[in-house]
Structure 1
Amino acid sequence: MTETILTRAADGAFTTVTYVADGDSVTTQMTKNVLHYEPRGIADRDAAEAQYGDLAEKFAAIDGVEHSIEFGETQLVEIVTLTYSELDVAALALATGAGPVDDPDEARQVSLKEAVAALKRDNYSQAR
């Protein structure tokens, strides 16, 4: 198993994506988002909770998804972990608004090389 970490900072948000892979096959993806309120136009903790508070409910019942969100005074920290072998792809697509999935088994097959390339095109930097 190998671990690959990519990061990006933009508009008051710092994102770290960690892939765990067996060869080129991603088995687990962990995304940590640290979102600072002020640069995003969020007044305070209460406003952040009102805007993002329902995220935990969206992901709670989806197999293969672990989600947590903590609201601080000046920022929130969200962590989403996907375990692809257990992932209910259709439920995740519905929760995120991604639309229907034609082949859930195929959607669980994530190429590390392709995933890293896609994030780099989106201005992520590879940390490890």
Structure 2
Amino acid sequence: MDSIEVNFTGGKRIEAQVGDFTLQTDQPLKYGGEASAPAPFDLFLGSLATCAGIFAWNFCESRQLPTEGLALKMECIEDEKKKMISNIIFHLTLPKDFPERYQSGIIRAMELCAVKRHMHTAPDFSIQVK
């Protein structure tokens, strides 16, 4: 992906064209939005959770392991002073009868999530005004 086009669609609503898909965002009511779509930061967190999830799913699928009952919940712990997330915990529920010998492997697979890796090795950011 080379670029993402952003459109200001009214109020606090903003859309991003990502390939053939349109992502819609809005701000919560307390920040002047209408809460008609997820906030941008919520999409960021959602991308982290779904990225980890697809790595877990692919791990199982590639080994023909059961996926019924596979579930993932991501918990965000906030640092009240900094008003930032200080810890993210992935709670992975494995299917019944999931082979114990694959437990460390599925964890390693989830750690390969591209979103998480980009957080650890953040890109440089710049803003150019036209």
* Higher percent of residues as strand: 1
TM-score range for the pair, normalised by the shorter chain length? under 0.3
**TM-score normalized by the length of structure 2:** 0.26
**TM-score, length-normalised on structure 1?**
0.27
* Bigger Rg, which one: 2
Higher RCO (C-alpha 8 Å, min separation 6): 1
